[in-house]
Amino acid sequence: MRPLLGHGLRSAELGQILMPALILVFCLTLFVRLIFETAKISREKIRHQFAVDAAAFIEMTNYSDFLNRTAYVNGAFPHRIFKETLEGLDPILGKDNSTYVKIYEMLYQNAAFPKTDQTLDDSSLPRWPIGYADSDKAGRGERLNQLSYTRDPEDLGTLDFVTEDNAYKTYIAHKDVMDIYQLYAQIYSLLGSVEDAQWQVFKRLTDNANFFRKSYWLNSGDCTSADNCGEQGAQAFKGSPLRAKLHKVTAIELSGNQFNQSNLFNPISVLHNRKKFGNAIEIPDGLFQLTTVNEGNLRRLKYGYEVIQPWDPPAENYFNVDLKAFRPRVRARVVSGGGVVWNEGSPGNPSPTPKFQTRLYP
């Protein structure tokens, strides 16, 4: 009888262990399933987060590139070009026969172009101190140094290239003035063509946030084409399009001496091309000078664009939970800052500095 009793006790013990074991196996199965489903959702979320990060960064890079190129055209390019082409010209003798005036400095003092006396290769400079001379009698340099997108029109009016005072106080020849003006017009026409071309390219690239859409389409795999991809995220860029003005002068005035070839130090008269004489050089389409960008746009770029993009989780899962009901989203904040286009942050100190950088924040 004892063996039978012992056998019954062992059977009862086995029965007591079986139920907890079954529950444990069931819990482990659910736990493994939960880990698997969580990993599947996490993988999708990470993929979409990477897609929106890459798309937002690439889209904002277009903005940084345009702003940097514009800063170069506004300051560094004219500074370096005119320094190379005009600084080495022979100085002009004053009519007091004792002083000399450099054409490069004369035109700078007339606010014909911006310049700086510092070396722009110094990477430690937070702002490149490029600007117009604000000492010209007409006040053109001061106005240009304070030029603002919101306050000033595109038409800058008339540029007094070589003033009457310059012609009466020096022996600068009218023919030489015309030659230098032709060079000046060619340089700024080229700079204007470059700026207009990059502005048109920028508008085409950023129209409808195309780069964002294409990048998100390639990396997320959610859409059938780039045209219908990333619509909500693209709204961050479409909501505040960048606005810019290409400022131009529409007339040039200048003066210079007319000489008798037999006596180069005895000018016959001073010739003028001026509106008051009805013979100023009119430029119907305008001659480019510089570009300003809407200050509100630049502040928003510095703060950053908040990009929010919904994504579709896997439709099926082991627990039959409708994950779409939670409306999952991925987010990114992308900024462009660190540079200066013209006169931002320090009125009267234009300092165009091509140091705009794109940064991505979670």
- Condensed to tens digits (0 to 9), the pLDDT of residues 210-243 reads 899 999 999 988 787 777 888 889 999 987 789 9
- C-alpha span between 130 and 351 (Å, rounded): 5
The reply to whether 309 falls in a domain is yes
Would you say residue 37 lies in a domain?
no
Q: What is the mean pLDDT of the chain?
A: 88
Look at residue 122 in the predicted model and tell me its pLDDT: 59
Q: What is the pTM of this model?
A: 0.87
Are 95 and 171 a contacting pair, CB within 8 Å?
yes
pLDDT given for residue 11 in this prediction: 60
Strand pairing class (281-293; 269-273): unpaired
Q: Flag whether 99 is in a domain.
A: yes
When divided into structural domains, the chain yields a total of 1
Buried b (16+ CB within 10 A) or exposed e, 161-197: bbbeebbeebbbbbebbbebbeebeebbeebbebbee
Q: Cite the DSSP H helix spans in the chain.
A: 2-71, 77-86, 103-109, 140-145, 164-169, 174-206, 210-220, 231-238, 295-303
Q: Identify whether 146 is part of a domain.
A: yes
Q: Which residue range is the domain that position 357 belongs to?
A: 45-361
The residue among 11 and 204 whose pLDDT is bigger is 204
In the Cβ-directed half-sphere of 60, how many Cα atoms lie within 13 Å? Answer: 30
Query: What is the spatial distance between Cα 25 and Cα 3, in angstroms, rounded to a whole number?
Result: 32
Question: Among 19-33, 180-194, 195-209, 240-254, where is mean pLDDT lowest?
Answer: 19-33
Q: Is residue 27 in some structural domain? A: no
**Assigned domain for 69 exists:** yes
CA angle, corner 160, sides to 154 and 166, nearest 5? 160
- Residue 57 belongs to some domain of the structure: yes
Q: What does the angle CA 81 – CA 122 – CA 83 come to, to the nearest 5 degrees?
A: 15
> Is 251 inside any structural domain?
yes
How far the first Cα of the chain sits from its last, in Å, is: 75
- Per-residue model confidence (pLDDT) at position 1: 46
The SS3 of residue 202 is helix
Distance set, CA 27 to CA 37, 108, 190 (Å): 15, 83, 75
